Amino acid sequence: MRVTVLGAGTMGNGIAHVFAQHGHDVTLVDLNEAALERGLATVAKNLDRQVAKGTLSDDDKAATLARLAASTDLAASVQQAELVVEAVSERTEVKAEIFKTLDAHAPAACILASNTSSISITWIAAQTKRPEQVIGMHFFNPVPVMKLVEVVRGLATSDETYATVKALSEELGKTPVEVNDAPGFVSNRVLMPMINEAVFCVHEGVATPEAVDEVMRLGMAHPMGPLQLADFIGLDVCLSILNVLHTEFGDPKYRPCPLLKQMVTAGRLGRKSGQGFYAY
Ligand SMILES: NC(=O)c1ccc[n+]([C@@H]2O[C@H](COP(=O)([O-])OP(=O)(O)OC[C@H]3O[C@@H](n4cnc5c(N)ncnc54)[C@H](O)[C@@H]3O)[C@@H](O)[C@H]2O)c1
């Protein structure tokens, strides 16, 4: 299949990697030339890691890279696409503009998928004249490693589009799970309140971050405590998803903890800024 992946950041380069490794012709697109170069370098580095581990041959690595092209021209890169997976920054106005452009330039049969974590698939689909071909394909970080694809059906997503994306996800070695469009889907609707509650425990002096994480690791067999995970995801990302849940449901149970807001205001965003609940 000819696949265009939009956004060469954390998720986009991983998505491009997985499609190319499984035999698809991929064009990776980013507005920013430097981001595109970084994305391609990350794919090469991660393929090297697979070769070093013995899970990929040198020939398969070369073939994967040969199937991967790069572009900064969105309209031109989707002219031949059969599937587009959008993984650009999580901003509604950016997604709206992109899906209008995609609708204008991608072939009529092309499926338009979004990797959004929190924006409504029904709303994204409504930006196009082909809402039955718009779907959520929610991958998890790091994409080459994580097995789940949350496949999100918008109100208008057709059975045919769903069946194609489900089969494709399986072909990529992933496990697709069908979910209907609702704020946070299932993954973030369950995860973010747990992270928020962990932050409240620290905020109220119930326990230290280390103690909260140890309880969840040892008592619930979570591989990573919720605060360590929040640092890994980015505290700004957690806050913005909680704000979406809070606004969309209008239920105070989703209100972000004041400590989380304060840490984001202070620039303590977790691993990426060097400081979150832990120092990096
Ligand atoms: N990071 C995660 O753990 C994670 C997990 C699941 C889903 N997501 C979702 O994936 C998407 C991407 O997240 P990310 O963490 O990879 O972001 P990122 O900031 O690492 O990368 C986004 C990329 O999009 C590019 N971009 C911005 N506007 C563009 C445009 N108009 N055209 C082309 N490229 C453009 C940026 O230059 C950047 O390289 C978001 O919707 C996010 O909610 C993220």
Q: What is the pLDDT along the chain (280 residues), one digit of tens a residue?
A: 999 999 999 999 999 999 999 999 999 999 999 999 999 999 999 999 999 999 999 999 999 999 999 999 999 999 999 999 999 998 899 999 999 999 999 999 999 999 999 999 999 999 999 999 999 999 999 999 999 999 999 999 999 999 999 999 999 999 999 999 999 999 999 999 999 999 999 999 999 999 999 999 999 999 999 999 999 999 999 999 999 999 999 999 999 999 999 999 999 999 999 999 999 9
Domain range list for the chain? 2-180, 188-273
Class of domain 2-180: alpha beta
Measured CA to CA, the distance from residue 256 to residue 242 in angstroms comes to 6
**Residue 132 designated active-site:** no
Q: How many residues are listed for the chain in this entry?
A: 280
CA distances from 273 to 34, 233, 280 (A): 20, 12, 8
Which residues have any ligand 1 atom within 6 Å of their CB?
6-12, 29-32, 35, 74, 87-90, 94, 98, 115-117, 138, 140-141, 233
Helix H or strand E segment including 86 = strand 83-86
Question: Residue 269: what pLDDT?
Answer: 97
Question: Residue 26: what pLDDT?
Answer: 98
C-beta neighbour count of 16 within 10 angstroms:
33
- Provide the mean pLDDT of the chain: 97
Question: Residue 197: what pLDDT?
Answer: 98
Question: Residue 215: what pLDDT?
Answer: 98
**Residue 187 designated active-site:** no
Distance 6 CA to ligand 1 centre (A): 8
Q: What angle do CA 139, 60, 167 make, to 5 degrees?
A: 40
Question: Residue 21: what pLDDT?
Answer: 98
**Residue 117 designated active-site:** yes
Measured CA to CA, the distance from residue 228 to residue 215 in angstroms comes to 12
What is residue 51's three-state secondary structure? helix
Question: Residue 30: what pLDDT?
Answer: 98
Question: Residue 264: what pLDDT?
Answer: 98
- Report the topology of domain 188-273: N-(1-d-carboxylethyl)-l-norvaline Dehydrogenase; domain 2 (1.10.1040)
Question: Residue 172: what pLDDT?
Answer: 98
Q: Which residue's alpha carbon is at the smallest distance from atom 39 of ligand 1?
A: 9
40 in Cβ contact with 16 (< 8 Å): no
Question: Residue 65: what pLDDT?
Answer: 98
Question: Residue 248: what pLDDT?
Answer: 95
pTM over the 0.75 mark:
yes
